[in-house]
Amino acid sequence: MPHLLHIDSSIRGDQSVSRRLTARAADVWRAAHPDGTVTYRDLGKNPVPHLTEASGLARMIPADQHTPEQAASWALTEELIGEVREADVILLGVPLYNYGPPSSIKAWIDHLIAPGLSFNPETQAGLLGGRDLVVLASRGGGYGAGTPREGWDHAEPWLPHGLDLTGLQPRFITAELTLAKDTPAMAGLIPLANQSLAEAERAIDTLWLPVDSAV
């Protein structure tokens, strides 16, 4: 039975564009997989704990030597990696905050980097590959070639590197200039913002079309 892991991370609630995109993608996936099941995790409302001095070494020492804090952190890592293992498709909503991903995404990925669970510690081979990881990204501004802040988006370049050990390979669908309607200085960019959002929605709508329909 096909299984979807749907993850949001925005803190903007109903105003979030990345949540709008992941919800649309989840609906498209359900329509294409009416017998499928879904696991939902909201890192914006319920973030996983960041690794700390008390908990972080759980990934570096044997389980039988764990302190209570390390044991709890390792158990959460097992839970999070288990959710990924069960999924055929992962939808990950990633807004751009201060030119990088939300810290909740970083904490989630830190938990995924676990020897023996997500990668082979001897060969460094990833153990979570073969899944379709679709990142639905939103950016308040524009960071493409030729823009004043070209290269300031540090989320999209970082995610493939952060996940590399696991074998997961993200592909991106992005809506840009999402703050244009709310920022007077960006009012002239509203048509481009609308175009970017429409293009992202069209890309989402074709994600799971039958091969003979996606032409």
pLDDT of residue 140: 96
Nearby residues of 110 by Cβ (< 8 Å), 6 or more positions away: 50, 51
Tokens of 119: 């990668």
Q: What tens digit of pLDDT does each residue of 16-70 get?
A: 999 999 999 999 999 999 999 999 999 999 999 999 999 999 999 999 999 999 9
pLDDT at residue 212 is higher than 60 = no
Whether pTM > 0.85 for this model: the answer is: yes
pLDDT in tens, 170-207: 999 999 999 999 999 999 999 999 999 999 999 999 99
Extents of the domains making up the chain: 3-213
**Alpha carbon separation from 164 to 13, 45, 111, 213 (Å, rounded):** 30, 26, 14, 32
Tell me what pLDDT residue 213 has: 52
Per-residue pLDDT tens for 84-98? 999 999 999 999 999
Q: What is the CA angle 8-12-13, rounded to 5?
A: 70
According to the 3-state scheme, what is the secondary structure of the chain? CCEEEEEECCCCHHHCHHHHHHHHHHHHHHHHCCCCEEEEEECCCCCCCCCCCCCHHHHCCCHHHCCHHHHHHHHHHHHHHHHHHHCCEEEEEEECECCECCHHHHHHHHHHCCECCCECCCCCCECCCCCEEEEEEECCCCCCCCCCCCCCCCHHHHHHHHCHHHCCCEEEEEECCCCHHHCHHHHHHHHHHHHHHHHHHHHHHCCCCCHHHCC
- 209 — pLDDT class (breaks 50, 70, 90): confident
Residue 165 clears pLDDT 80, i.e. is over it: yes
Tokens 């023996």 belong to residue: 116
Q: Which CATH class is domain 3-213?
A: alpha beta
Q: What is the pLDDT of residue 121?
A: 95
Supply φ then ψ for residue 202, to 5 degrees.
-65, -40
Confidence of residue 214 (pLDDT cuts 50, 70, 90): very low
CB 82 within 8 A of CB 41: no
Cβ-contact 63, 28 below 8 angstroms = no
